[in-house]
Structure 1
Amino acid sequence: MAAREVDAEQAPQDGGRVTITEIARQAGVSVPTVSRVVNGRSDVSPHTRARVEDLLRRHGYRRRPTTSATRAALLDLVFNSLDSPWAVEIIRGVEEAAHTAGVGTVVSAIHGRSGGAREWMRNLRARASDGVILVTSALEPLLYEELRILGVPLVIVDPAGSPALDAPTIGAANWSGGMAATEHLLALGHRRIGLIAGPPRLLCSRARLDGYRTALESAGLTLDDTLVVPGDFHPESGFTGCNALLDLPDPPTAVFAASDQMALGAIEALRRRGLRVPEDMSVVGFDDVPEVRWSAPPLTTVRQPLADMGKLAVRTVLRLARGEQPDSPRVELGTELVVRSSTAPAS
């Protein structure tokens, strides 16, 4: 379904809501001008665009979905950043599903540079994308509102916080994954288990922490707050966090890192201190990105189906682009503990 201009005279809104013709009358502009604003065209003055968009927001205007059965032509895949194998795995799944559907993909990273999200929105308007897959990102409320005005379908993968606009979300079973990782270490006889946590603003981080806490409580252990150190999913924070745990008067015998990248950083911290994995300390990660199968030693980790999450996001946003609704607005794919050589019984 290639993006098409709204037929202004034939576009009354569901439930008798305001038409584009009425928007034009209130704004004091022509119907084609409003149509150009709705469809993201650039040939409208900033002052006029602002006036029309304000009326569109006030009236809750939504572009009517097309009923064409033709498939969408272009999707936007948006990340905070692209500096991790985790992102590459999601891209791999999205590209595979999009290729099968005959759809193009534009990949963007919106954070880490000033005005990145607004720049992306301007580009989105210009290319008239048919759908957006937003991965672990949070847009400003005004940008969500612009997506709504444009009528662009939105699916959120691994939502950072509460979903906006009632958009469908696709995630992984982070709570059960965190519990499985901790239960594995408990079954090996470990009782002091450190956690290098992810950013607390992310739902997935909080869920993994809750799974860790639940496993400890189920084993009759009290959570020791000194064994939980902060991280940001990157190797450097795993390195720093593991060193902090090792510096405790009574350090843990095992570490659960809430991402594979942090687990690799933890293993490097142990190596530099002359400690062996798993003989001196067991390490568990989370994600199962490809390179951890080749780490020294191969990493025990919780596999989340990153590529499958990307594929399902494509299928969901294409359904929305056809004017259909997903089977469920909230999907959580299962996680699986993968045991390799980085864990062993407590000495």
Structure 2
Amino acid sequence: MVAVDFSLEGHAKVHVDNEPASFAIARHALKTPPRRPAVINLRLTEQPCNGRITDDQPLLSADRTITRARLAGFQRAFVEAGIDPDEVPMWNIEENTFDVCTPVIEEILDLPDDQRPDLLLCMSDRIALTAVTLAEERGLRIPEDLRLTGFDGIAEGQYRAPRLTTVRQDSTEKGRIAARMILGMEPAESRLMTTELLIGDSCP
């Protein structure tokens, strides 16, 4: 057995460099100081939550979800930029699909102008692309009114306009590595794969 994107005690795992990759993309985004940054997480709360994360909702630990490492990278960049991470609002999304993302992102984008975030750090390209679509429906300009980042580097995010600023990971190779370990074609040893920062139009 080999774990991919999560940890399983006593077994090899295949991960990407989630924390440093998230730090790099957040650091890039924060070079243009935002007025109201926010984070949209993916499956990060212990109890199901499709909406704003409140102080009484505990987060999953890093060994139970890779998105905790992504949040740690974002928060490290906030601290470096002089922003208190505890003051940055966070939302959680339970499933990485348009239908599940939509009500959460609508809640964010429909906030009054003086409360709506002007920078969204999203933990997946699917989340970011949903935000782009819903922002455009509301007449919000990207990146002038709203800057966004994603994570994954899926083709759709690079072929549509505005092109996403994101982190590219090689998901196919992750699967190949895990399969080779299972088949005994290479040692079953934990692997940490590198990623690539892609600067697009959504957060230049």
TM-score computed with the length of structure 1 as normaliser: 0.49
Q: Deviations over 1:230-288 (max 9, x none)?
A: 11322334433333333164222111110011111111221121101112111111001
Which among 179, 188, 196 is matched to residue 32 of structure 2?
Answer: 188
Larger Rg, first or second structure (1 or 2): 1
Describe the shift of the 1:187–1:226 C-alpha distance in structure 2 as closer, same or farther (beyond 3 A).
Answer: closer
Q: How many residues are aligned here? A: 183
Residue pair 1:258, 1:285 contacting (<8 A) in 2 also: yes
Instruction: Report whether the alignment pairs 1:313 with 2:158.
Output: no
TM-score computed with the length of structure 2 as normaliser: 0.81
CA distance in 1, matches of 2:123, 2:136: 20
Structure 1 runs not aligned, ≥5 long? 1-153
Q: Which residue number corresponds to residue 340 of structure 1? A: 200
Which among 204, 219, 234 is matched to residue 81 of structure 2?
Answer: 219
Which among 67, 70, 79 is matched to residue 205 of structure 1?
Answer: 67
Q: Deviations over 1:89-113 (max 9, x none)?
A: xxxxxxxxxxxxxxxxxxxxxxxxx
Residue pair 1:235, 1:263 contacting (<8 A) in 2 also: no
Q: Identity over the aligned pairs, expressed in percent? A: 30
CA distance in 2, matches of 1:266, 1:156: 30
CA distance in 2, matches of 1:220, 1:190: 12
Which among 118, 134, 149 is matched to residue 253 of structure 1?
Answer: 118
Name the amino acid aligned to 2:117. P
CA distance in 2, matches of 1:260, 1:336: 14
**Aligned with 2:162: secondary structure?**
coil
Q: Which residue number corresponds to residue 284 of structure 1? A: 149
Residue pair 2:37, 2:88 contacting (<8 A) in 1 also: no
**Aligned with 2:150: secondary structure?**
strand
**Aligned with 1:298: secondary structure?**
coil
Instruction: Report whether the alignment pairs 1:270 with 2:135.
Output: yes
The runs of at least 4 consecutive aligned structure 1 residues that moved more than 6 Å come to none
Q: Which residue number corresponds to residue 129 of structure 1? A: none
Q: Deviations over 1:205-241 (max 9, x none)?
A: 1111111111101111112456211113223344333
CA distance in 2, matches of 1:298, 1:289: 11
CA distance in 2, matches of 1:227, 1:238: 17
Residue pair 1:157, 1:313 contacting (<8 A) in 2 also: yes
Q: Comparing both structures, which one devotes a greater share of its residues to helix? A: 1
CA distance in 2, matches of 1:301, 1:309: 18
Q: Which residue number corresponds to residue 163 of structure 1? A: 8
Residue pair 1:263, 1:284 contacting (<8 A) in 2 also: yes
Which among 191, 209, 228 is matched to residue 90 of structure 2?
Answer: 228
CA distance in 2, matches of 1:179, 1:285: 13
In the TM superposition, 1:1-347 aligns within 5 A as: 154-159=1-6, 162-164=7-9, 166-200=10-44, 201=60, 202-225=64-87, 227-232=89-94, 233-246=96-109, 247=111, 249-319=114-184, 325-326=187-188, 328=189, 330-344=190-204
Structure 2 runs not aligned, ≥5 long? 45-59
Q: Which residue number corresponds to residue 69 of structure 1? A: none
Compute the RMSD of aligned alpha carbons: 2.0
**Aligned with 2:74: secondary structure?**
helix
Describe the shift of the 1:198–1:342 C-alpha distance in structure 2 as closer, same or farther (beyond 3 A).
Answer: same
Residue pair 2:93, 2:101 contacting (<8 A) in 1 also: yes
Name the amino acid aligned to 1:240. P
CA distance in 1, matches of 2:131, 2:117: 13
